[in-house]
Structure 1
């Protein structure tokens, strides 16, 4: 899936952003699994900007087009039993066509359901999450939405979360 991170930015500043160094402000946490995979409860999180067309609005691509240095910091709940036809995608920096044909390329719910059926994993959460990966300014996301999603995931008593960046 081709990615054009500069689609809505003037081409004259593409080189600047491509060479921009981003300073890491936090260490990366790592927690090894304390039990076998076949006893673990999983959730999935993607940054592909997908949403449930019947239940939640798309990510705000209109504002991002008007304000290219803004990315929608909100999140969407994606039920594990959501049918392919109910999936919408509103990410401006990736080609959504492939996602709309097969959501498993960004949120592998069907593959994890198969792993659950085969006994490879314990279970997959009923609700998984989608974020917008394009976040030039992460302050609102870090202050409000990331803690909300983290709290929702924690409430599910999960053992592991698979993040699929887009």
Structure 2
């Protein structure tokens, strides 16, 4: 009787079937993980702007995105240069469509908003993230689906709330 030297066809087919099943389950879970981590990253990047906004307001200056600091205005440092409209982050859409800052002096409120684009995962491309400051200086985080086709509520980071629109 000869000893078997290798695998039978059925054994190989079973192994390939198991790998296929694992891949079918793991790939969507991995894509969701990437989407949530990218959303969390942009929330963190906008959080850096919150500190700069608070500092500018404390000094009596107007916070701005793309203008060199002056006696009355303070660049909060989220753009690639003092004169650029493009965000430093490669996950935020380019130009004014990607990053905006709205300061309302009468109410002393600020809305710092980013729209995901460029290298963001396809599921979240077009989603909007906002850091909002009320008149008392309290910040809140909001995430909206925007034009993101595959956005799921589970992509919203802890500490933020999902809203219909920003």
Is the pair's TM-score, using the shorter chain for normalization, greater than 0.5?
Answer: no
Structure label with greater radius of gyration:
2
Higher RCO structure (Cα 8 Å, ≥6 apart): 1
With the length of structure 2 as denominator, give the TM-score of the two structures: 0.30
